[in-house]
Chain A
Amino acid sequence: MTVELFIQYFFAGITYGIIYAIVAIGFNIIYNTTGIINFAQGEFVMLGGMISISLNAFFPLPLAIAGAVLITMMVGALVEVSFIRWLKSPSVIRMIIITIGVSILIREIALHIWGESVRALPYFLGDEITTIQILGARISPQVLWIIGVCTIIVIALSLFFRYTMHGQMMRACAANRTAATLCGISAKNMVTFSFMLSAGIGALAGAVMSPVTYTEYDIGTGLAIKGFTVAILGGLGNSMAAVAAGLLLGLLEAFSVTVVPLAYQDVIAITILLLIIFIRPHGLFGRKDAAGLKEF
């Protein structure tokens, strides 16, 4: 393999990987505060793309994306307030079924609003065929946008959780909900906030990636499955591990094309998911004893 081919595959893999990682981080944020997997996470990504495309008809691009992120955060809050908040100590399985229901609901509503057609934002820089050369390989500038924005999201998130009051309150809820409540933290508000945060992150990623991947009303499911695989692979709840796992899966998928037919690309993701569930249920980077303390 020549260097330029290697770079070309490498960037393809990084692009897939970082998108998976962002969806996985969305899973993790909600998992950390509630202990459930929110299967509507893929729909947040779809909404981010769709709403920003609609707003872009009236506003300049940055404003449209900001608007889409805000609106999707509202949707996230609405979902939590209307479907999750009023449940008294619901079982994990019940909450999961609820999120699956919500994802179908959002998808159908999106179908009614935007129809079945495929849409995309314009490229942020240049157009469809603009490329930049890196070591002989040609990369669309949008790919660098995706990588850049997603990297910023990851860094900002880890700073947020480490240094801000809100972030620390959310971590407290994740660590011990009862203790956090005793300290005067409203656990319910933290859950709502976690839905808003993961919806906003998903929406931002959805808007940035839409020029490359396109958006339609039902892209959410596929993203959710890949994101879930990555979240499990890294170890549920660990956002930095999700990034590593996402990049690993993305690169594996991209380079697998050189040895196996492309049709088997998804087989790789599912095989990894099954292997992890059987061999290391706590994920590549998780600790077994820590995982044992979790309900799910």
Chain B
Amino acid sequence: MKKLLLTTIIALAMLGFSAVAAVAETIKIGAILAVTGGASFLGAPEARTLEMLAEELNEQGGINGKKVELIIRDSAGSPERAMSFTRQLIEEQRVFAIIGPSTSGETMRIKQIAEGGRTILISLAAAEAIVNPLARYVFKTPQNDRFAAMQIFKTMNDMGISKIAVVSGNTGFGQAGRNQIAQIAPDYGIEILENEVYDSRATDLSALVTRLMSNREVEAVVNWSIVPAQAILARNMRQAGWEVPLFQSHGFGNIRYVEAAGRAAEGIIFPAGRLLVADVLPADHPQKEVLVTYQENYEARFNEPVSTFGGHAYDAFHILVRAIEEAGTDREAVRDAIENMQGFVGTGGIFNFSATDHNGLDIDAFSMLTVKDGQFVKLEQ
């Protein structure tokens, strides 16, 4: 009798669970973003973008009638936190897919966890190592660092610059950029005369500028860092009266950094996706509509200018939604749908994924911009 009772209870309990599962008509999407901390300039606009998109989508009735439940976790840029959040999202929350993390260092640490948990991961970090070597479930939306460095060197060739100084912050982003630059520079006949790393929290770089300036052969400076150093460097260079061209990484893609550097930002050259020049793109450009819509919605809602980083989150979210629309809620089918996605027009460029390319962008995703009268404009030569 007791046994029967127990069996009944267990059976009822199981029934109960399955009933709960049937009621849950939402699709859980996890997001691990550096909303606070040193990389918050990435994570904060990404989190805002995702919240905005999820809300819009749910107002329109969700994906195939299913609402999206967005679970955002703030990793503060720490790989350790990103790892534990990944486990939590996969094992406890049982999310359908994860968007993020914001930084390359975090992504590299959770790549294997996502792979082991067979959970789709769409990273918002730039390092090429995220998708090379390829992991079955891991994708990324930002353009590769390498394309940014290649665009910079192409521009230098056009300008007749061959001897440069490279400075970078001591972050994962700075290190990845520094390695790419050193690797690619010989292909373009460019010689690196000075190579310096500074503390990413540095408050003044005038001593560094003086040191670089004393090498009279340097024809241009390439800086690979995040805020605030990229504005401080620009100011210190111009204050010291050093007029060589300053190239920045694609990390300069936020108009606030121009405001921070003020008049010293004039003439800075950097590669960026087209989001920053959306309003001056020709009307027939394939990305025009996507870019303008995102920019208008974001700026109207959050009252701050868009940055390319929020755009990466926009792309990741829409790629995922489109794949779920096509393939339903079977995870394997969705993964295949992303891998086979062609001609997806996003903010970062036009994505063409394949079984060997989980980024889907090429060098054309970047164009060279410069700062003129406090605004981003296309670089004219």
Which A residues are within 8 Å of any B CB, using their own CB?
5, 8-9, 11-13, 15-16, 19, 111, 115-120, 127-131, 138-140, 209, 212-214, 216, 218-219, 222, 253-255, 257-258, 261-263, 265-266
Contacts and interface: CB of A to CB of B under 8 A. Distances in A.
Contact of A263 (B35, B41, B198, B262): B198
B238 interface: yes
B201 interface: yes
B239 A214 contact: no
B303 to A, nearest CB: 12
B228 A258 contact: no
B207 A131 contact: no
Residue among A209, A212, A219 with max Cβ neighbours from chain B (10 Å)? A212
B239 A12 contact: no
Given A214-B231, A214-B232, A262-B198, A128 B211 contact: no
B201 A262 contact: no
B228 A5 contact: no
B302 to A, nearest CB: 11
Contact of A214 (B214, B260, B263, B264): B260
Given A214-B228, A262-B196, A12 B210 contact: yes
A212 B264 CA distance: 12
A252 B226 CA distance: 26
Interface string B284-308: 0000000000000000000000000
A222 B197 contact: no
Contact of A129 (B199, B207, B211, B239): B239
Contacts of A263: 170, 196-199
Contacts of B196: 261-263
Contacts of A261: 196-197
Contact of A116 (B36, B201, B262): B36
B208 A257 contact: yes
A254 B206 CA distance: 9
B262 A127 contact: yes
Interface string B221-264: 00000011001100100111100000000000000100011111
Given A116-B40, A129-B262, A130-B239, 17 more contacts: A5-B210, A8-B206, A8-B210, A8-B240, A9-B210, A116-B44, A117-B256, A119-B260, A128-B239, A129-B239, A139-B239, A212-B204, A214-B203, A218-B37, A255-B207, A257-B208, A263-B170
Contacts of B256: 117-118
A11 B232 CA distance: 16
A128 B263 contact: yes
Given A9-B207, A116-B41, A131-B239, A222 B201 contact: yes
5 contacts: A12-B207, A118-B41, A118-B256, A129-B263, A214-B203
B264 to A, nearest CB: 4
Residue among A8, A213, A262 with max Cβ neighbours from chain B (10 Å)? A262
Contact of A128 (B35, B44, B238): B238
Contact of B235 (A118, A129, A255): A129
Interface residues of B, number: 36
Contacts of B35: 116
Given A128-B264, A257-B208, A118 B197 contact: no
Interface in B17-58: 35-38, 40-41, 44
A118 B260 CA distance: 8
A257 B264 contact: no
B207 A254 contact: yes
A115 B214 CA distance: 39
Interface in B176-217: 196-199, 201, 203-204, 206-208, 210-211, 214
Contacts of A127: 262-263
Contacts of B238: 128-129
A110 to B, nearest CB: 11
B207 A257 contact: yes
Contacts of A131: 239-241
A138 B260 CA distance: 21
Contacts of B208: 257, 262
Contacts of A222: 201, 203
Contacts of A138: 239-241
A226 B40 CA distance: 24
Contacts of B36: 111, 116
Contacts of B198: 262-263, 265
In order of increasing CB-CB distance, the 5 nearest A-B pairs are: A116-B40, A213-B203, A128-B262, A263-B197, A214-B228
Contacts of A128: 235, 238-239, 261-264
Contacts of A120: 260
A148 to B, nearest CB: 17
Nearest to B168: A263
